[in-house]
Amino acid sequence: MRKFLIDTDTASDDAVAMCMALKHPDVDVVGFTVVAGNVPLDQAVQNALYTVELCGADTPVYVGADRPMLRDLGTAQDVHGEDGMGDIGLPLTGRTPAEGWAPQVIIDTIRANPGEITLVPIGPLTNVAIALLMAPDIAEKVERVVVMGGTGETGPGNISPTAEFNFWVDPEAVRVVLRSGMPLEFVGWDVSIKSAVVTNERQEHLRTLGPLGNFAIDIQATLQGYAWEETRLAGPDFPDPIAMAHAIDPAPATTEHLGVDIAIGSEPMRGTIIVDHYGFAQIPKNVHVVAHYPEAHFFSMLYDLLGD
């Protein structure tokens, strides 16, 4: 069994990624740490607790940072819904998180399992950065860090012309992580819009898979509209689920070891990743950037894991 610790700003795509990990026979999800991002922290915590319960699991959910390290919180409720789960009336209240603060849980879990934890941040990196500032030693003790974030080498932004949402929310946290020495693998939004667009045909297939397949589509109610009107994709895309697929099975991915930094400051460059292809800025090679993840492999895994 591989031990996953998943850091999430639980909204409609995070929830699908959580189900994938919880349902995978070889993955032991040791915990979910929650960060503010798509929705305010308390809502993300309730969404995570609901999703764990829906999967019939008892995995602990821990509360984390309610805002970026040095900025006000910007949410994506226009993309995922006010409640983050498509505003379809799910009972997303009244559940109780585990004792413990997310950054401390990240530290304690990695220290207690040296070389065995795959950390999978699928939201802003605030919790991870705080953990690193408190305990820099965890960088060499974690086995893998698979991040949904950034725009790969040349992808478009989804919150500004060049920035992806997770990295835009807390760019200072991204820089802490980039300079930490952690074994980083980035799955950017470029990979999601190329290989994880849930077309109508795929949605129909998911609906034949039973409760989790229907859940995975029902909660995309807001994202559906955003896709049609804003990104003009052929359906909602699944960035966190395809990042989770890479965490579960990195074999089919095409990656490149690159020097990566991030633009801090204000618009229009806030949160834009800087990929030093030719070494002009002498950025040390610190990230394995996923350039491609096969679409068929992703959807085959998604169907297998969400099926009854």
> Which residues here bind ligand RIB, judged by CB under 6 A?
9, 11, 13-14, 37-38, 76, 122-123, 148, 158, 164-166, 189, 239-240
* Identity of the residue, 170 or 240, whose beta carbon is nearer to ligand RIB in the bound complex: 240
Instruction: List CB contacts of 264: < 8 A, sequence separation 6 or more.
Output: 171, 172, 175, 270
Residue with tokens 């070889």: 26
Active site residues: 9
Q: Which stretch binds Ca ion (CB under 5 A): 27-35, 120-128, 133-141, 265-273?
A: 120-128
* Identity of the residue, 181 or 225, whose beta carbon is nearer to ligand RIB in the bound complex: 225
Q: Does 147 bind Ca ion (CB under 5 A)?
A: no
Q: Where are the alpha helices (DSSP H) in 126-238?
A: 126-134, 138-141, 165-169, 171-178, 189-195, 200-207, 211-218, 221-226
The secondary structure element, H or E, covering residue 296 is helix 295-306
Q: Which stretch binds Ca ion (CB under 5 A): 18-26, 73-81, 123-131, 252-260?
A: 123-131
Q: Does 150 bind Ca ion (CB under 5 A)?
A: no
Q: Which residue of the chain is nearest ligand RIB when measured via CB?
A: 165
Using CB under 5 A, which residues numbered 235 to 274 contact Ca ion? 240
Instruction: List CB contacts of 112: < 8 A, sequence separation 6 or more.
Output: none
Residue 257: Cβ within 10 Å count: 9
- What's the closest the beta carbon of residue 165 comes to Ca ion, in angstroms? 8
Using CB under 5 A, which residues numbered 6 to 25 contact Ca ion? 9, 14
Q: Of residues 123, 213, 236, 241, which one binds Ca ion by CB under 5 A?
A: 123
* Identity of the residue, 125 or 139, whose beta carbon is nearer to ligand RIB in the bound complex: 125
Structure tokens that stand for 105 in this block:
């849980």
Q: Does 124 bind Ca ion (CB under 5 A)?
A: no
* Identity of the residue, 190 or 261, whose beta carbon is nearer to ligand RIB in the bound complex: 190
Instruction: Give CA–CA dist 15/65, Å, rounded.
Output: 19
- What's the closest the beta carbon of residue 281 comes to ligand RIB, in angstroms? 25
Structure tokens that stand for 164 in this block:
């992806």
Q: Of residues 122, 159, 173, 227, which one binds Ca ion by CB under 5 A?
A: 122
Using alpha carbons only, what angle is made at residue 191 by residues 24 and 76, rounded to the nearest 5 degrees? 85
Which partner, Ca ion, ligand RIB, none, binds residue 195 by CB below 5 to 8 Å per kind? none
Instruction: List CB contacts of 265: < 8 A, sequence separation 6 or more.
Output: 171
